């Protein structure tokens, strides 16, 4: 699977996730098919919960793309600057749609800078880079700097450091690491005894669902894939543009 194919899969997954944030699938189908229903229709509710997993494919692929991009970029400064510019452009649309700040492009930028910091540190002294990278992960998690906080930075580091690992070894690591990265949600689930289906679904979606996106990265064949004029900016433009359109739609629905 080419890098282009991975990007398209991630874009479609992200679009699905954000569209269903504005128009939840179960509510939309019930409104269309059963407008007079007094309570939730079981099969529609089940369908909605199953398709929630589609939206969890995107984030791991985008994190993987930063690890891959850092290793293969021809101009690191332009790469980082491009992320910064579009992260700033996406911030208001992100707030418009979700009501809080810190879109994922800032996370991706911080992850990219962390990879460069790690390589620089290791070049100066063995192990120094890992220490510096761990400091960034802890700070990003503590201060909640952007979407995904420190755990997304950690996952970018893992993608970067395990590039040459065999698929089976990587799969075993991710089966352990992905649920562990949502330790807060798991701890809340068990400590507050939230043992009902709704909370169990939320736990699975966030702690296990992203493994679907990780699995797609295992099929990456190292090739760039089809190219066309402006393909480099497809993701960068699409991200703030679709957030803005959906944010405006959501505001219109709320004002209706």
pLDDT digits (tens, 9 = 90+) for 85-135: 999 999 999 999 999 999 999 999 999 999 999 999 999 999 999 999 999
Task: Give, as one character, the DSSP assignment of residue 53.
Answer: G
pLDDT for 54 beyond 90? yes
What confidence tier does 35 reach under pLDDT thresholds 50, 70, 90?
A: confident
Q: Which among 2, 5, 43 has a CA at the least distance from the CA of 26?
A: 43
Q: How far apart are CA 65 and CA 222, in angstroms?
A: 12
Domain ranges, ordered by start, for the chain = 3-255
- Mean pLDDT value across residues 201-210: 88
Q: What's the rounded Cα separation, in Å, for the pair 60 and 206?
A: 12
Region of residue 222 (left: phi > 0; alpha: psi -120 to 50; beta: else):
left
What Rg value do the Cα atoms of the chain yield, rounded? 19
Chain centroid, CA 139 distance in Å? 19
Is 90 exceeded by the pLDDT of residue 182? Answer: no
**Confidence check: pLDDT of 211 > 60:** yes
User: What is the number of other CB atoms lying within 10 angstroms of the CB of residue 91?
Assistant: 18
Is 90 in contact with 239 (CB distance < 8 Å)?
Answer: yes
C-alpha distance from residue 86 to each of 26, 60, 90, 101, 103 (Å) = 33, 19, 6, 14, 10
Could you tell me the CA-to-CA distances from 104 to 35, 62, 78, 182 in Å, in that order? 36, 9, 19, 17
Q: Map residue 143 onto helix, strand or coil.
A: helix
């Amino acid at each position: 699977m080419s890098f282009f194919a991975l990007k398209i899969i991630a874009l479609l997954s992200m679009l699905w996730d954000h569209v269903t944030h504005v128009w939840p699938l179960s509510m939309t189908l019930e409104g269309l098919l059963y407008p007079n229903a007094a309570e939730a229709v079981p099969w529609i509710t089940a369908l909605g919960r199953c398709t929630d997993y589609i939206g969890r494919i995107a984030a791991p692929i985008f994190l993987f793309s930063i690890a891959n991009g850092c290793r293969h970029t021809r101009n690191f400064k332009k790469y980082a600057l491009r992320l910064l510019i579009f992260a700033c452009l996406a911030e208001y649309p992100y707030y418009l749609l979700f009501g809080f700040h810190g879109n994922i492009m800032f996370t991706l930028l911080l992850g990219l800078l962390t990879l460069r910091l790690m390589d620089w540190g290791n070049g100066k002294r063995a192990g120094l880079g890992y220490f510096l990278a761990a400091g960034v992960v802890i700070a990003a998690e503590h201060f909640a700097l952007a979407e995904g906080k420190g755990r997304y930075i950690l996952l970018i580091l893992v993608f970067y450091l395990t590039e040459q690992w065999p698929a089976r070894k990587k799969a075993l690591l991710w089966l352990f690491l992905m649920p562990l990265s949502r330790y807060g949600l798991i701890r809340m689930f068990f400590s507050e005894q939230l043992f009902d289906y709704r909370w169990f679904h939320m736990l699975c979606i966030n702690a296990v669902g992203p493994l679907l996106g990780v699995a797609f990265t295992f099929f990456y064949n190292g090739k760039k894939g089809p190219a066309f004029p402006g393909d480099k900016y497809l993701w960068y433009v699409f991200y703030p543009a679709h957030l803005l359109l959906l944010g405006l739609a959501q505001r219109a629905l709320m004002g209706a």
